[in-house]
């Protein structure tokens, strides 16, 4: 089966980079996929990307070397199975708050006896390889997104879920849950504390820690704390910022 570049980085003792894809145009995603990111996460929750749009984006990413991952809209077994069948090598499930929710999520990612996923990975088989059934469990990533106060309260119980590969900190929504304004970087003392807690709990339970880090400084801090996956921003925002900087430099506006 095709190897997961994120797991390869971890095997080398190195953290993995990730770019958040919130643009639904395949040619743009194909261009971004030519960069040296270790992974790309297609966001179905906070974008205009639906099931019909998703597959061409996964196909575009397959021309590059990064692992294709998807943040699903919710903890729905049908949707989770769909993105895996379409060729996703990782699933990020939003708003994970209890160990029971996490157990349902992990079960939806795996075939019996580990879980309850139904067999039929049409494109996943073509992208992953003929030995998909035998090797998928050690390549795909099951990632729980922690982004609420309740999720942090249940962090250890969630991290202890058998089969879970990563707990992923969402600093934006977590800050909002503490009364802060939305921000792409940590902007509340409880979010700063959560950065340390997620890293420590992940290490305790032998799984990886991941997080959004929309600035190089936050990314470096996350790596220093032991995070194994760091997302370096949203594609649409990065393109908007870069285009604006060029306009300002050339025309002063």
d(CA 72, CA 37): 21
Question: Which residues lie below 8 Å from residue 140, measured CB to CB, with a gap of 6+?
Answer: 4, 84, 88, 89, 90, 91, 109
d(CA 230, CA 233): 9
Cα-based distances in Å from 116 to 51, 77, 112, 210: 21, 9, 5, 26
Cα-based distances in Å from 207 to 76, 151, 215: 23, 17, 24
DSSP 48-100: S--HHHHHHHHHHHTTSSSEEEEE-SSS-HHHHHHHHHTT-SEEEESS--SHH
Q: What are phi and psi of 121, to 5 degrees?
A: -80, 75
Task: Note if 46 is an active site residue.
Answer: yes
Task: Look at residue 21 and give its three-state secondary structure.
Answer: strand
Considering the candidates 10, 28, 30, 46, report the single residue annotated as catalytic. Answer: 46
With left for phi above 0 and alpha for psi between -120 and 50, is residue 120 left, alpha or beta?
A: left
Which residue shows structure tokens 């077994």?
Answer: 77
Catalytic residues: 46
């Amino acid at each position: 089966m095709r190897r997961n570049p994120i797991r390869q980085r971890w095997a080398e003792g190195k953290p993995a980079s990730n770019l958040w894809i919130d643009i639904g145009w395949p040619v743009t995603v194909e261009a971004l996929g030519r960069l040296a990111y270790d992974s790309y996460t297609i966001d179905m929750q906070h974008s205009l990307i639906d099931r019909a749009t998703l597959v061409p984006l996964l196909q575009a990413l397959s021309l590059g070397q990064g692992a294709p991952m998807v943040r699903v809209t919710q903890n729905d077994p049908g949707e989770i199975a769909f993105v895996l069948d379409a060729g996703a090598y990782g699933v990020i499930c939003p708003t994970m708050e209890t160990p029971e929710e996490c157990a349902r999520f992990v079960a939806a990612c795996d075939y019996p006896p580990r879980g309850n996923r139904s067999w039929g990975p049409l494109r996943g088989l073509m992208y992953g390889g003929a030995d998909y059934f035998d090797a998928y469990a050690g390549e795909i990533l099951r990632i729980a997104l922690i982004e609420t106060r309740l999720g942090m309260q249940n962090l250890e119980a969630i991290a202890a879920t058998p089969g879970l590969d990563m707990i992923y900190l969402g600093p934006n929504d977590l800050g909002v849950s503490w009364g802060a304004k939305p921000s792409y970087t940590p902007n509340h003392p409880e979010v700063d504390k959560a950065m340390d807690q997620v890293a420590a709990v992940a290490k305790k339970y032998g799984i990886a820690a991941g997080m959004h880090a929309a600035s190089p400084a936050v990314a470096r801090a996350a790596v220093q704390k032991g995070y194994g996956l760091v997302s370096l921003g949203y594609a649409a925002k990065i393109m908007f910022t870069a285009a604006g900087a060029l306009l300002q430099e050339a025309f002063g506006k």
